[in-house]
Chain A
Amino acid sequence: MRLLFQALSIAKKDLAIELRTKESLNAAGAFAVVILLLFSFAFDPDANATRELGGGLLWLVFAFAGALVFNRGFARELPNECLDALLSSALSGASLLLGKALANLAMLIAVEFVSMIVFGIFYNVRWWLRPLELTGVCVLATWGISVVGAVFGALTVNLRLRELMLPVIVYPLLIPLLIAAIEITNALFANQPLSAYELLWGRVLLVFDIVFTALAMALAETILVN
């Protein structure tokens, strides 16, 4: 309970700072919208083939936009040595990572929502037909991306080339999660009932989230102090 309370305090603090500075949201949101617009010019948005690629396009955009969010997550703690103040306090490492992942989740979901609107307009895709399932996929997949982003954001925070290193490390790890999210999202955009095939990918998403959340919490102290 204490762990969750501390994690929520971290997330609340990060979101309060973000709402004032809008550093991550502006960068990630603008990036996502620009990429979607550019692709809409490059391909014929009315073609069925383009719409079938919609899930893949969206999740790649979310993953790239996520890197912009994660880079700021721990970098926000560097001025005034705030990270030292946190790590020397009673805050547990697991709470810190969990809080960062929660803040990442909230910011990425906001970016995803804006991107979905742009996507619907420019690609003529009615993404709102299966809102519950789509929300479920977005939350599950985004949580996985957020946890991995928080862990590697912590690991790369003191690197000079962290903006470059973070995506290089994170994307290969996200491959199973992205495939799962893309498969399910494509089925939802086609307004098909989810088959056993998509449900299997749903389980992959769930397992990915559980495994990486557990790993992040178990290794938090080692990651943060070393």
Chain B
Amino acid sequence: MTFAANLRGRSVTAPLLCALWIVVAAGLLVLKPSAFAASTITTVLQFSTLLALVALGQSLVVLCGGGGIDLSVGGAASLSVVLVMLGLKNGMPDWLLPPTCLAAGAALGWFNGLLVTRLGILPLIVTLGTFYVYSGLAVALTNGAAQSGVPAWLVPWGRGAIGAVPLPFVTMALPAFLIAGIILAFTSWGRWIYALGHNERAARLVGIDVDRVRRLAYTISGLCAGTAALVSLAWLGSGRPNIGQNLELTSLTAAMLGGIGIFGGRGGVGGVLAAVLLLVTLQTGLLQLNVNTIWQVGIVGALLISVLLADRFSAPQG
């Protein structure tokens, strides 16, 4: 029973997300009725793919507990983009681009995991450091310029759609959430993640290789960032060294909003996907209303704080 409750996360999550989504949609309908078109749905889902992948990785890291947090997700995505584009310029064959992009992300995430588990440094300090190293390198290696030269065969996948649903959403984001959901609910790896998020000491004493599970979570978070990087390349047709900007704040907000408990061991990935859709709808709506993008950062920050405050004041103090 406890396990099922852990998977569900906060009981208020689903109704809260639905209510907020209706408020956002209704607001947009009143302020700008022309925004309701199939193309808007495509745009929302296209942007959601990037955030959904990164938020999934972030959620797994937070679920593992022990102060788990990955502030470097945006930096890892940016650096993956830059590394593969520089690789292409230096004669790497095109067909290697997708696997290299994923591998670069996974390697960057694994490095975080290594620092956290082997050296026992606080995750927030580790990933704050690697955030600046990764995103700084991405900008410094390219002088901040977008890199052209994405192979032409990748673009039809990045921009294609089945009806109103973009291909990357169907082929990357949905399967990733499905697999993560199945792993969390039905496999021992999933149980281990909840176990060490819930009580690390107990998890260690019953023989779970805590460090290995945690390192894997960081590696998957990096892999997710690498996948998002690949989707951005295929979609935009160029490599932007700032593609991951603000993703750490937005992905963390999505995870919290989606019912992942900040101390780990609580919440499931379904809520996270719903939260991502809500956040991106909100951002797209603001874009449609010509609100400056800097406001989105402010609103996302305010949402993050209010969700955590609401969580604290609604839950009995333990």
Query: Real complex partners, A and B?
Result: no
Give B contacts to A, CB under 8 Å.
Answer: none
Give A contacts to B, CB under 8 Å.
Answer: none
